[in-house]
Amino acid sequence: MAEQTRAKRPPRLFTVSAVQRLTPHMIRVTFSGPEIADIPDGCEGANCKIFLPEPSQSKDSFARQLEEGPRPTVRTYTVRHQRQGLGEMDIDFVDHGDAGPASAWARAAQVGSFCGFAGPGPVKVESYYAKHYLVVADMSALPLAAATLEAMPADARGTAIFDIPHAQDQQDFRIPEGIEQHWIVNADSHAPTGEIVDMVRGLDWPAETVQVCIAGESTMIKELRQHILVDLQTPKQDVYISGYWKIGLIEDEHQKAKRLEASAA
């Protein structure tokens, strides 16, 4: 007899306990509650799904919707910090105004606000074994980059390149001293300058193993994937590279395009 498929767990209901404006374009939302206590520590940098209530929706109504449907608006985010013992989790939201539903929710969030949460998935870099590292991220992937850099061994060496819309969006991470930082300011993320791609292409690529963690806008990702995997012949097992968004597409459209691209590869 065929094994029965395990019922999929409905999203957890998370409640906001703190909101902090980290930089002009980044908002940190802290969630607290017993729903977080069974999520293991060590998931920083992992993807999760945030389910967004309607602006005027009550918590009871949203809880029923998470259980019974229909599916709310969903966006993908990254776990920035997880404190299992305290039942707390931080998720950083890019503030790009009220046009996007997740940005609008984070801008309006206050203590007692709520959303749904599913995940987290696996961390993107599970182990650190290289002689050199390359980390590249725009604002959408800064939480991933920060978590990756903070998990590296203290003697790690390499390069980290960040694309931000304003000089004041620079953040202080616990980066190993051997990682050289570059912060590129581009006020319009929808008009990429190509500076990151040029900088990566200009790196003196070491002969030893290089671990790579890159995420951001898909056009940039496509060029960097070609350079790192094809031109430099970096082994795939040493590379995490992913498009987190694409100019002109909302997340649902971008995810569909990624699936089509993967199926055609």
Q: What is the pLDDT averaged over residues 220-230?
A: 96
- Where does the pLDDT of residue 113 fall: very low under 50, low under 70, confident under 90, or very high at 90 and above? very high
- Would you state the structure tokens that stand for residue 109, as one six-digit string? 């969030």
Q: What is the pLDDT averaged over residues 57-66?
A: 98
pLDDT at residue 103 greater than cutoff 80: yes
pLDDT of residue 229: 98
What values do phi and psi take at 6, rounded to 5?
A: -65, 135
Q: Spell 202-233 as b/e; 16+ CB within 10 A means b.
A: eeebeeeebbbbbbbbbebbebbbebbbeeee
Q: What is the pLDDT averaged over residues 141-149?
A: 98
**Prior bond to 120 cis, omega within 30?**
yes
Q: What is the pLDDT averaged over residues 182-199?
A: 88
Q: What is the pTM of this model?
A: 0.91
More confident residue, 248 or 90: 90
Contact (Cβ atoms closer than 8 angstroms) between residue 81 and residue 23: no
* Residue from 109, 142, 115 nearest 19 by CA: 109
Contact (Cβ atoms closer than 8 angstroms) between residue 94 and residue 25: yes
pLDDT at residue 63 greater than cutoff 90: yes
* 168: number of Cβ within 10 Å: 11
The set of residues, in sequence order, having a beta carbon less than 8 Å from that of 202 and lying 6+ positions away, is none
Q: What is the pLDDT averaged over residues 205-225?
A: 96
Q: What is the pLDDT averaged over residues 111-123?
A: 97
pLDDT of residue 136: 98
More confident residue, 264 or 118: 118
pLDDT of residue 259: 45
Tell me what the pLDDT averaged over the chain comes to: 91
pLDDT of residue 53: 98
pLDDT of residue 13: 97
